[in-house]
Structure 1
Amino acid sequence: MNAPTLSSSSGNGSVIQLGGFNTYVSGCSASLFAIVLVSDIFGYEAPNLRNLADKVAAKGYYVVVPDFLYGDPYNPENTEKPLPDKGFEDAKQVVAALKDKGVSAIGAVGFCWGGKVVTDLAKSDDIQAAALLHPAFVKVDDIKDVKEPVAILAAENDSISPPELIKQFEEILSSKPEVDSFVKIFPSDEHGWTLRYNVEDKEAVRSAEKAHRDMLHWLTKYVM
C-alpha cells in the first residue's frame, strides 16, 4: 500500500503542544474520556488517521494524535525506518498531560509502528484499554506482560505480523482470564489496511470502516 499524502491541514481539529509534543487534537477538551492514537511510521499528519480521530471524537472522546516521530516520518525513498524504542516513554508524557487536565479514563490505539508503543502502555497502569491494529514490532513476550484489556485487529495477508503470530497472541491472552481480550483476523486484507487505503476505493473504505467499528466498540466498553 502507498503512503497517504500528508497535509498539516487535514482534519477538523487543531495542532497543539501536549506533553511536549506537537499533537493533533479533536473533540471536546473538557471530556473526561480520552483516546490516544499512535500513528504508523508515516506519521501523525496522515489524512486518514486524522479523519479517524475526528470520527472517534464525535463519540464524545477527546482524541489526541501525538507526533512521536518528531516531524520525521518514514520516507519511502529512505530505506531507514524509525523504531518505536522511545515511544513508550514519550507516550507516558502525553498520558500524564491528559491526567493533569482531569481526564479520568484513557484508551490507546496503535497502528503498525504504534502497536508496539500501545502494547507497552498496556503493560503498565497508565491506560484503561488498548487496541492494536496491524501491529508491528510486538513479540510474544510483550503479550505475556499485558495487564490491561486489549483488542488486536490483524490482516490475513500480513508478512509483518502474520496470522500465525496473531494466533499465538490469542492463545496467550486466552490463558490470562484476568485480562479481557478480543482478537480478529480480517480475511483478504493487507498490513496497514485501516489507515493506508485509497479513499476512492469503496471496498477498501468499507473494509477499513469495519475495523474502525470494532475498535470503537472495544474502546466504549472500557473508556466511557
Structure 2
Amino acid sequence: MSGPQCCENPPTLDPSCGSGQLQQFGGLTSYISGPSDSKAAVILISDVFGFDAPNLRKLADKVAAAGFYAVVPDFLHGDPYIPEQKPITDWIKDHGPDQAFENAKPVIEALKSKGITKIGAAGFCWGAKVVVELAKYAYIHAGVMLHPSFVTLEDIQGVKVPLSILGAEIDKMSPPELVKQFEAALNAKPEIDCFVKIFPGVSHGWSVRYKDEDESEVKCAQEAHQDMLDWFAKYLN
C-alpha cells in the first residue's frame, strides 16, 4: 500500500512555525490562519509527516493571505511518521486515511457553525486520499490533490465536486500515466469540472517538501500553490 517515495525528504518538524495559532477545532488540535470572519475555508491535509511541517504551515499562511480561513488539523494525533522508528507499512496500519476522513467531518461541522458557507480541501500525498473521499460524498465544494498517494481510479470515478490534480513527473505513488487516467475519468463526467497538471522534473512530495536551495523545485512548488489558490478562488468565492 505504500512505497519509499512517501518517506523521502522528511521535513524538520517545528511546532512553533507559522504566523497562525494552534487551537482545538472540531475535536482536533489544528493550526489556524486567516480572517476569522471569512465565509470560505480551506482544510489542508498533510502528508505522513504531519501538520508541524514548516512548508505546510507556510502554505496555510499563503492560503490565509488570499482571504481564506485556513485550517490544518492534526489528523495524525501527534504521531507523524518518523522513518527511523518503524517501517511505513507498520505506521500506516494505525493511520489510515479512512480514519482521517471520519475525523474531518466534525472539522467541517465546526467550520459551518462559524458561518462558513464554502469549504475546500487540499491534500498532500497521504492527505489526498482524504480529499478524494470528501469529494466523493460532497462534504466539500472543491478539492485539490497534490502528488496523491493511495488514490484509485475508482475513487476518481466517484467524485462529485470540482477537483484539481497536481502531479509530479517523477512519482511512483501516482505516476503520470495514472494521473492521465484520472483526468480521462473526470473528463468523462462533464458535470464535474477538473484541472489536471503534471509538473516536469519534480518528484513525489515536492509541493511541501521542496528544498529552499533548489530554485527550480521552489519555482514549481510556488506554481502549484498558485494553481491551488486559483482553483479555490474559482469555487469558494
* TM-score, L = length of structure 1: 0.98
Partner of 2:118: 105
| 1:91 matches 2:101 | no
Partner of 2:175: 162
**Paired residue secondary structure (1:110):** strand
Alignment of 1:129-168 (within 5 A): 129-168=142-181
Alignment of 1:1-224 (within 5 A): 1-77=8-84, 78-79=86-87, 80-82=90-92, 83-224=96-237
Residues 41-80 of structure 1: CA deviation (Å, up to 9, x unaligned): 0000000000000011001110000000010000111213
In the TM superposition, what is the alpha-carbon distance from 1:200 to its structure 2 partner?
A: 2.4
Q: Unaligned regions of 5+ residues in structure 1, if any?
A: none
Instruction: Name the CA distance, whole Å, in 2 between partners of 1:87 and 1:179.
Output: 24
More helix by share: 2
**Paired residue secondary structure (1:48):** helix
**Paired residue secondary structure (1:195):** helix
Counterpart of 2:137, as a letter, is S
RMSD (Å) for aligned C-alpha atoms: 0.9
In the TM superposition, what is the alpha-carbon distance from 1:125 to its structure 2 partner?
A: 2.4
Residues 85-131 of structure 1: CA deviation (Å, up to 9, x unaligned): 21111111111110011101001000000000000000112211000
**Paired residue secondary structure (1:71):** coil
**Paired residue secondary structure (1:31):** coil
**Paired residue secondary structure (2:80):** coil
Partner of 2:5: none
In the TM superposition, what is the alpha-carbon distance from 1:187 to its structure 2 partner?
A: 1.1
Residues 133-170 of structure 1: CA deviation (Å, up to 9, x unaligned): 00001001100100000000000110011111111101
**Paired residue secondary structure (2:166):** strand
**Corresponding pairs, count:** 224
In the TM superposition, what is the alpha-carbon distance from 1:199 to its structure 2 partner?
A: 1.6
Instruction: Name the CA distance, whole Å, in 1 between partners of 2:91 and 2:212.
Output: 25
Instruction: Name the CA distance, whole Å, in 2 between partners of 1:146 and 1:111.
Output: 17
Any conservation in 2 of the 1:48–1:196 contact (CA below 8 Å)? yes
Q: Unaligned regions of 5+ residues in structure 2, if any?
A: 1-7
Counterpart of 1:201, as a letter, is D
Counterpart of 2:157, as a letter, is K
Instruction: Name the CA distance, whole Å, in 2 between partners of 1:167 and 1:223.
Output: 26
**Paired residue secondary structure (1:108):** strand
Instruction: Name the CA distance, whole Å, in 2 between partners of 1:144 and 1:41.
Output: 25
